[in-house]
Amino acid sequence: MVTKNLYTISLVAAVTLFSAACTATKPQEMASAKTDVNIPKNIIMVVSDGMGPAYTTAYRLYKDDPNTPAVELTALDPFLVGMAQTYPAPVSGYVTDSAASATALAAGIKTYNGAIGLDVDKKALESVLQRAKKIGKKTGVAVTSQIVHATPAAYIAHNESRNNYNELADSFLDDRINGKNVADVMLGGGWNYFIRDDRNLVAEFKALGYQYADSYTDLLALPKGKPTLGLFADKGLPKALDDSNPHRLSVLTESAISHLENVNGYFLLVEASQVDWAGHANDIASAMSEMEDLEQTIKLLKNYVDLHPDTLVILTADHSTGGLTIGADGDYRWSPEFIQNMKASVTMMSEKMMDEEDMALYVEDVFGFALNDDEKNRISGISIDMTPRARESVLKSVLDKRTNTGWTTSGHTGIDVEVYAFGAGAQAFAGNLNNIDIAKKIFELLGDVE
């Protein structure tokens, strides 16, 4: 308990000092007075899509060692500096989608839900990635969704609808041809949108000098420091619980950095995309495995900043998803031990269990705990006539009941999200922020185009 109290006191003191530094420094001074503000050479923006405060709390408890009296901190906890408001432009009310929030984080302007890099009048906005490119830095994205999904697209492209995936993919290539500011490194999913009957964008990128990889192994074997396109799935990557590497985001992040490093520095967007997808699915096991992938990435980035102190890392969420509750139905309990030994996601299980002679025995093996009679009966009642989603729902209901996890929605919620920062210039991101402030502060650190 003494350790916890000391941590709380030190964290409050750190946030206070960070806030004072931000208040004392005027915006025009941030871009010019390098003696007053630590200006980063490299900026790494990490977005954990859908990660509201309940996710970080749940993950801390999920990783806790029950044999010690204290709840151990995660790799994220020491770098908490503030909170951010997430609401979109008034035309879309108070609850944002990922496109509007990503545009706010990337360009510093509130917009309507669904907009990619456009304001409410559908005028194109400059993103921090594009500004970084203008001033001579290399730029990249590394995500676990398809690279044309809302968050990465908002940093690279402009489109009136986030759902225009083929148009967004086309713009990635066409903007590059036209000399616009497109990323030098793009890693994630998206074969469906880049290799189509009407156009093979992969071949066109290769003709422009990009090297290409379609497996993690091939990616790691590519020469460093070159423009790189890496696509590893039809759409998003497999869930962390099902992927060949459960820490694939850290692999993509480390690889992206190795291709971006140069004397002028770089801007890299990293997105833990599938925290959000787990929230939409009300899938607590997948949510925690995606959070673990994020934590491994933060550990990697902390080690990198230790060796490269001219690097800034910012971590936040675009919104919260699912209305996650740890402790439900008036029961003062949360029991994460029932999801700590999962061997596969409920999505994968719902597909494979129909081939099993004893479905209950199969579920026990993959869950990692013995089912009670009621749970066995419910599992045995699953039939081939049920949709995969219905089968998943039965499996998730067992896990929710065992862990005492609650959900309020399959969509987004409008709550504030946490902001974490470390490295050069981290003090600028402390306090109670609006999400557009994050982009504005990055613009200030990048400075004006000469």
For residue 245, which of 228, 220, 223 has the smallest C-alpha distance? 220
| Under 8 Å between Cβ of 128 and 242 | no
Residues in contact with 135: Cβ distance below 8 Å, sequence separation at least 6, in sequence order: 446, 447, 449, 450
Q: How many CB atoms lie within 10 A of CB 90?
A: 10
Tokens of 256: 């992206």
Give the position of tokens 């990435």: 297
Q: How many CB atoms lie within 10 A of CB 53?
A: 15
For residue 185, which of 234, 224, 233 has the smallest C-alpha distance? 224
Tokens of 169: 């993919």
Residues in contact with 35: Cβ distance below 8 Å, sequence separation at least 6, in sequence order: none
For the chain, give me the number of helices (H) and strands (E)? 18, 14
Tokens of 403: 């862990």
Half-sphere exposure at residue 86, Cβ-oriented, CA atoms within 13 angstroms: 29
Tell me if residue 98 is catalytic: yes
Cα torsion 288, 257, 428, 77 to 10°: value is: 30
For residue 14, which of 61, 77, 75, 105 has the smallest C-alpha distance? 77
| Under 8 Å between Cβ of 288 and 341 | no
DSSP 8-state class, residue 71 = P
Q: Name the active-site residue from 48, 98, 101, 255.
A: 98
Give the position of tokens 């140069």: 262
Cα torsion 242, 245, 246, 247 to 10°: value is: -150
Which amino acid is present at 366? V
Give the position of tokens 């008036």: 330
By annotation, the residues acting in catalysis are: 98
